[in-house]
Amino acid sequence: AGWRGRPEPLLAVRHGVRSQLKGRRQCSASPITDMQFTVHQRFFFDAAHTLERAIETESSRRIHGHTYWAEVSVRGPRNPDNGMVIDLGHLRARLELLRDQLDHHFLDEVQGLGKPTLENLCLFIANALADLEPAPSRIRVWRDSIGDGCVLDLP
């Protein structure tokens, strides 16, 4: 029995999917194939860059640095064999390789990045992870210190 004797799992009740599950027998052996899950993993890196902007004065043109946060989301059905959309351990390992390319580097010189904008960082991360199965559905890059960020939603 679920929460307070209800047959639905607590997670289903709390996330408003009770109506989708009503009448279905709940056990780990009966797969729910029409459910889509989104899992994500985040990492951070510290990096320096320059950026030529029309609105800024020379402060952007000078070398300066930020702590960047990035989050990679993967959306898909739960694999009935292992219960996961993607093995987060595998995703973490790939993100560690990506972090090594960015952390404590001068972003202007990172091969394949282009101009070090938030948008280009999203694209760089998406391209580096395009071979994952399932592929990332969303890439988010932000800088807490100055309150800006970018989200790339992928098909």
For 114-142, write each residue's pLDDT tens digit. Answer: 999 999 999 999 999 999 999 999 999 99
Neighbours of 122 (CB within 10 A): 21
- Tens of pLDDT, residues 21-43: 455 445 455 555 579 999 999 99
User: pTM for this one?
Assistant: 0.75
Distances (CA, A) of 100 to 30, 97, 116, 117: 41, 5, 16, 18
Helix (H) or strand (E) holding 150: strand 148-153
Helix (H) or strand (E) holding 124: helix 118-128
Cα gap 86→116, rounded to integer Å: 29
What are the strands, taking DSSP E only, across 50-135? Answer: 64-76, 105-106
- Tens of pLDDT, residues 72-97: 999 999 999 999 999 999 999 999 99
